[in-house]
Chains A and B, each alone.
Chain A
Amino acid sequence: MKSLEELRAIREKMQSQVSMRAEDHNHTRVVVGMATCGIASGARPVLTKLSTLVQEKNLTDKISVTQTGCIGLCQYEPIVEVMEPGKQKITYIKMTPEKAEEVLEKHLIGGHIVEEYTLSGADIK
């Protein structure tokens, strides 16, 4: 190790992974439905995509990506729920990895809910 910069480069690369192992009450939780119905309609790539993006963008100290079971709306799977501390839960439906990336950029980073993918806003008739 010849310089502090070298050390910091390693630290930054590792930090996002290690900080996943912290417990914090102020995390924004992103929950992906991973029951049989979710998995069957393609929830796993959505989960992996979200998890990878959060780590790549060094957001693990603010956002945790986890799974949950079936919430009963199987026809709308894959479902992603976003729970920000002190805010109402937002439910996104029929997600794909591409849509998930959009939600991450616009909602989780930008702060604007992507209405057209939400349970209340999507055209599901």
Chain B
Amino acid sequence: MYRSHVLVCGGTGCTSSGSQQIMEALKAEIAKNDLTEEVSVVQTGCHGLCALGPIMIIYPDATFYSMVKVEDIPEIVAEHLLKGRVVTRLLYNETVTPAGSVKALIDTDFYKKQHRIALRNCGIINPEVIEEYIGTGGYEALGKVLTEMTPDDVIQCLLDSGLRGRGGGGFPTGLKWKLAKQNDADQKYVCCNADEGDPGAFMDRSVLEGDPHAVLEAMAIAGYAIGASQGYIYVRAEYPIAVERLKIAINQAREMELLGNNIFGSDFSFDIDLRLGAGAFVCGEETALMTSIEGNRGEPRPRPPFPAQKGLFGKPTILNNVETYANIPQIILHGAQWFASMGTEKSKGTKVFALGGKIHNTGLVEIPMGTTLREVIEEIGGGIPNGKKFKAAQTGGPSGGCIPAEHFDIPIDYDNLISIGSMMGSGGLIVMDEDDCMVDIAKFFLEFTVEESCGKCTPCRVGTKRMLEILTKITKGQATMEDLDKLEELCYYIKDNSLCGLGQTAPNPVLSTLRYFRDEYEAHIKEKRCPAGVCKALLSYRIDADKCRGCTLCARNCPNNAISGTVRNPHVIDQDKCIKCGACMEKCKFGAIYKK
């Protein structure tokens, strides 16, 4: 029995900032102080506050240390673990009240408004120990399903809960299962889409890393509901920690016979295998994903037939996203009503968002549906750094769109986001401030889709390429208003004619920025000016002769020797030589350099 548990985050974010070394140092220091019998060191999944990693939480007092370094370990052990004195300087500053006392983590702005269902075990349990998952009620839902419920009961429960697909589409999960159950076949399959490809989204990775058994349990429940005995998890090879923990989890579940034949003494048998994706964005599309599992090149195919009729290996198949699965055991245990009591009329439960971009608390948050964008960004996310003004939030990655400041108070759910020209997507939320150029953002996402288009259908392969060319012209100030019309026309054409979701949604970033920021596009075209000062071809750095003191600092820092001038006399930038790196502006102490 341990009197204290030290939790060290082993998610990808904290691992890359050195949490493994911290854990080793901690174990060594604990042994040195003869505390091995009293204190247990637990590696957990992601806590969400990735910006503050590596993160360490010490229980039972729930002290939250952030940005811990190996050098801090002896102090933490000697002071906190031995003498019970909190190492104040390492505390997450939000947990320290103005009076100097420490408040609970759940009372901080970041966690207060969150409601964790999919992430409930992330950062709490050791994902590599199945007993810890069982200790928090794990596999209880599977047991309940196999001993007390019929497959129809399970499907009805999901239908009543109102759970919709968390991968982006928002299709009702219960309905998907119902359709697959109706189709008789000698073999059916349950697949998990863990090919998380949206730039900036990492909730699926965090669930797999922090609570892999929740996904396994839910897949077994799905197998029982639709009558499948085999499951596949399609996970990208770029997620090595997630792959490793999934392997461990599957082996442990097999050892305990929670996967395998006659689970819980019933006549239900189910097993799960992993399939690694090589990192093509299109393989996150359901038909392409299944083609890839079959061993073929990951290309989509037309629907119908839908996977519920003819999916993997031509058999009825359901495919759900990681986050969707992570909700299911909780819905079974607590009932459909419990889940349906959260969220908005048509979007129930919670959604995980990956906050990124110009925001203080970058990381992972899980909020009830219907929370406003303002609450997410200003309260949970801690607002925008450096006193800059909010311009737009990008949701849904390359398939989504921008939400401008005028919709700051919109409650986030599937239908609201679609009505304003964006989409939920897998939950990436990138915040942009006044220094971001919307044309440049649209171009960034187009570059991504051009790169990732599989090339099977012409609208997507050729169309997105032409779109990117026009966008590039705009950012260089070479486009005409006719180009802008052509761009818009292309958008609708590609949307209507592409084979799969990738192409059908690829124009969204352009359409939504055109809808809300057309003036920026026009400024680039008509005035040859980038209002945010991002597009390099359209801006020049200049020195205000009245403010320049002739300190020579800019000239000395210019990497291309483009600045000339003598001491105590105003300097001048040679526009032909200037590479627009901005180094001079950063160094100038008198604010004499400006962008035009």
Contacts and interface: CB of A to CB of B under 8 A. Distances in A.
Contact of A34 (B57, B83, B106, B257): B83
Contacts of B314: none
Given A7-B134, A18-B135, A34 B265 contact: no
Contacts of B264: 1-4, 7
Contacts of B143: 4, 7
A67 B83 contact: yes
A74 interface: no
Interface in B58-89: 59-62, 82-85
B169 interface: no
Nearest to A47: B3
Interface in A35-59: 35-36, 39, 44, 47-48, 50-52, 55-56
B136 A60 contact: no
B82 A34 contact: yes
A124 B530 CA distance: 80
Contacts of A66: 60-61, 84
B263 interface: yes
A14 interface: yes
Contacts of A56: 1
Nearest to A68: B84
Interface residues of A, number: 38
A11 B130 CA distance: 10
Nearest to A55: B1
B115 interface: no
Contacts of A55: 1
Contact of B60 (A11, A64, A68): A64
B82 A64 contact: no
15 contacts: A2-B262, A3-B265, A11-B140, A14-B134, A18-B135, A21-B5, A21-B57, A21-B125, A25-B104, A31-B84, A39-B83, A48-B3, A50-B3, A52-B1, A64-B60
A121 interface: no
A69 B124 CA distance: 27
Contacts of A50: 3
A60 B139 CA distance: 22
A56 B1 CA distance: 8
A48 B136 CA distance: 24
B199 interface: no
Nearest to B144: A4
A44 B39 CA distance: 12
A77 B136 CA distance: 37
Contacts of A114: none
A123 interface: no
Contacts of B136: 15, 18
Contact of B83 (A2, A35, A60): A35
Given A1-B258, A4-B147, A51-B1, A11 B83 contact: no
B435 interface: no
B134 A10 contact: yes
B364 to A, nearest CB: 18
Contacts of B38: 44, 47-48, 51
A90 interface: no
Nearest to B44: A21
B138 to A, nearest CB: 8
A25 B256 CA distance: 36
B178 to A, nearest CB: 27
A17 interface: yes
B134 A65 contact: no
B332 to A, nearest CB: 14
B140 A18 contact: no
Nearest to B57: A21
B2 A17 contact: yes
Nearest to A4: B143
Contacts of A60: 60
Interface in B260-282: 262-265
B527 interface: no
A11 B135 contact: yes
B131 interface: yes
B137 interface: yes
Interface in B27-60: 37-38, 57, 59-60
A60 B2 CA distance: 12
B243 to A, nearest CB: 25
Contacts of A13: 131, 135
- In this complex, which of B3, B62, B106, B262 has the most chain A Cβ atoms within 10 angstroms of its Cβ? B3
B105 interface: yes
